[in-house]
């Protein structure tokens, strides 16, 4: 079985990645060998709370001989690591793990900004010296939703050029939100705050559906805003996006709307419309001369167990191939769109290029 280490002991690592690893372990695919966290207490707490027999804790603080991340990555019985650390901490750890020859599944976003992501990709693709390069996959769990897979296939089946599209995500981050109450999210030192951390999910869904129609987002013009003071630096963006085929669509993402909630992506082609939400997909149009009008419902899921399994299966195959839903290049594409939205939002307000209604 594949020897696995979980790097991170935060909310998502504990509630999603750990159960996914244990499910894979139960099926004989991988074995959890170690847990790493910045503090000894958090690493050991995760192990104790979940009665992880034989799993060793590694940590930075307090310094302890044989317990550092370097020592963990030196273990020959660990083949792969799953990295679920704060956004600004991940890049260095990903690079160190790859240098140590470990296969890596790292949490989204791929990096805090496009420049950092490209530098990390350049290291992996051009600078990393390895007789047999380890896999580097990025965990975008939305791409493993059964509902999104269904929607993607329906867009492809309908066929035809894209006529328009829209992404709408309305949400509200309350003070008691468990994710808000992690210090690195509460006072973000990276662009966009929750619009970066969460926004890549929603953009990934849109890009997946547009990709099924053979097109991609090429340009955006956006207006951003801060509706809730404690969600700095910005919590809302409204935008028009243009594809490489010069087709326009709209993007709305907000974490500051208290009385409205929901997520949907809609793609309209020459032959019909597909509307995706995590729980259902509506398809209307014409296929082979026949009217299509269907709604498919799906159970609530996180997609993490499926993505972890896909990663570990790739490691076990040991042939260098892996599920392209986890491609760092796809993750870079998600980040590029989010960053463009944030940068355009900043520029639009400064430029004041409004047309007044007379």
**294-299 long-range contacts, Cβ below 8 Å, gap at least 24?**
296/147, 296/150, 298/145, 298/146, 298/147, 298/150
**Same domain, yes or no: 126 and 179:** no
**Same domain, yes or no: 154 and 285:** yes
Task: Answer whether 0.85 is exceeded by the pTM.
Answer: yes
pLDDT at 346: 83
Using CA atoms, how far apart are residues 323 and 110, in angstroms rounded to an integer?
A: 16
Using CA atoms, how far apart are residues 2 and 28, in angstroms rounded to an integer?
A: 9
**Same domain, yes or no: 281 and 194:** yes
Q: Please classify residue 11 by burial: count the beta carbons closer than 10 Å to its beta carbon, then call 0-12 exposed, 13-18 middle and 19+ buried.
A: middle
**Same domain, yes or no: 115 and 186:** no
Strands (E), 181-339: 217-225, 236-243, 248-254, 262-269, 272-276, 280-287, 290-297
Give the pLDDT confidence of 137-177 residue by residue, as tens digits: 999 999 999 999 999 999 999 999 999 999 999 999 998 99
pLDDT at 282: 98
The sign of the torsion formed by the CA atoms of 319, 322, 324, 328 equals negative
Which residues partner with 170 through β-bridges? 254, 262
Using CA atoms, how far apart are residues 302 and 16, in angstroms rounded to an integer?
A: 8
Residue 310 belongs to some domain of the structure: no
Q: What is the CATH number of the domain that holds 15?
A: 3.40.50.720
Residue 210 belongs to some domain of the structure: yes
Residue 31 belongs to some domain of the structure: yes
For the chain, state the CA radius of gyration: 21
- Encoding tokens for residue 246? 């010069």
Among the candidates 93, 125, 142, a domain finishes at: 142
Residue 321 belongs to some domain of the structure: no
Of the ranges 124-133, 270-279, 318-327, which one carries the lowest mean pLDDT score? 124-133
Residue 117 belongs to some domain of the structure: yes
Give the pLDDT confidence of 272-321 residue by residue, as tens digits: 999 999 999 999 999 989 999 999 999 999 999 999 999 999 999 999 99
| Domain housing 190 | 143-303+337-350
Among the candidates 109, 142, 175, a domain finishes at: 142
Using CA atoms, how far apart are residues 270 and 266, in angstroms rounded to an integer?
A: 13
**Same domain, yes or no: 200 and 72:** no
Among the candidates 142, 166, 185, a domain finishes at: 142
Of the ranges 62-71, 179-188, 218-227, 328-337, which one carries the lowest mean pLDDT score? 179-188
Q: What is the CATH number of the domain that holds 233?
A: 3.30.360.10
Greater confidence, 348 or 94? 94
Domains in the chain, number: 2
Contacts of 183 (CB under 8 A, 6+ apart): none
**Same domain, yes or no: 135 and 163:** no
**Same domain, yes or no: 26 and 172:** no
Contact 324/106 with Cβ under 8 angstroms? no
Give the pLDDT confidence of 81-95 residue by residue, as tens digits: 999 999 999 999 999
**Same domain, yes or no: 290 and 157:** yes
Question: How many Cβ atoms are within 10 Å of 289's Cβ, its own excluded?
Answer: 5
Residue 311 belongs to some domain of the structure: no
- Encoding tokens for residue 339? 């960053």
**Same domain, yes or no: 193 and 147:** yes
Using CA atoms, how far apart are residues 194 and 75, in angstroms rounded to an integer?
A: 36
Residue 319 belongs to some domain of the structure: no
Q: Please classify residue 358 by burial: count the beta carbons closer than 10 Å to its beta carbon, then call 0-12 exposed, 13-18 middle and 19+ buried.
A: exposed
**51-59 long-range contacts, Cβ below 8 Å, gap at least 24?**
58/5, 58/34
Q: Is 217 left (phi over 0), alpha (psi -120 to 50) or beta?
A: beta
**Same domain, yes or no: 122 and 231:** no
**Same domain, yes or no: 121 and 202:** no
**Same domain, yes or no: 95 and 221:** no
- Encoding tokens for residue 219? 């340009």
Residue 213 belongs to some domain of the structure: yes
Q: Please classify residue 28 by burial: count the beta carbons closer than 10 Å to its beta carbon, then call 0-12 exposed, 13-18 middle and 19+ buried.
A: exposed
């Amino acid at each position: 079985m594949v020897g696995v280490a979980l790097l991170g002991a935060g909310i998502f690592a504990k509630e999603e990645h750990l159960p996914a690893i244990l499910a894979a372990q139960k099926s004989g695919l991988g074995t959890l060998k170690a847990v790493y966290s910045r503090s000894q207490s958090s690493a050991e707490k995760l192990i104790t709370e979940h009665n992880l027999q034989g799993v060793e804790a590694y940590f930075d603080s307090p310094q302890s001989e044989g317990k550092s991340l370097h020592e963990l990555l030196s273990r020959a019985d660990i083949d792969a690591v799953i990295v679920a650390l704060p956004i600004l901490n991940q890049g260095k750890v990903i690079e160190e793990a790859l240098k140590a020859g470990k296969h890596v599944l790292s949490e989204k976003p791929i990096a805090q900004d496009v420049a950092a992501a490209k530098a990390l990709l350049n290291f992996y693709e051009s600078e990393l010296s390895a007789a047999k390069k380890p896999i580097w996959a990025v965990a975008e769990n939305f791409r493993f939703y059964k509902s999104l897979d269904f929607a993607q296939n329906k867009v492809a089946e309908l066929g035809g050029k894209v006529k328009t599209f829209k992404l709408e995500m309305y949400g509200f981050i309350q003070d008691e939100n468990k994710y808000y109450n992690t210090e690195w999210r509460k006072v973000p030192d990276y662009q966009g705050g929750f619009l970066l951390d969460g926004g890549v999910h929603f953009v990934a869904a849109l890009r997946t559906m547009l990709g099924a129609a053979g097109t991609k987002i090429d340009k955006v013009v956006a207006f951003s805003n801060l509706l809730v003071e404690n969600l700095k630096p910005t919590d809302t963006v409204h935008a028009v996006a243009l594809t490489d085929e010069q087709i326009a669509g709209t993007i709305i993402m907000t974490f500051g709307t208290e009385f409205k909630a929901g997520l949907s992506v809609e793609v309209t082609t020459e032959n019909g419309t597909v509307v995706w939400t995590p729980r259902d997909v509506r398809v209307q149009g014409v296929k082979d001369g026949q009217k299509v009008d269907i709604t498919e419902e799906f159970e609530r899921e996180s997609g993490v167990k499926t993505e972890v399994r896909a990663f570990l299966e790739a490691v076990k195959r040991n042939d260098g191939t892996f599920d392209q839903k986890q491609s760092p290049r796809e993750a870079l594409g998600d980040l590029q769109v989010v960053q463009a939205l944030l940068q355009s939002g900043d520029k639009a307000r400064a430029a004041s290029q409004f047309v007044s209604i007379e």
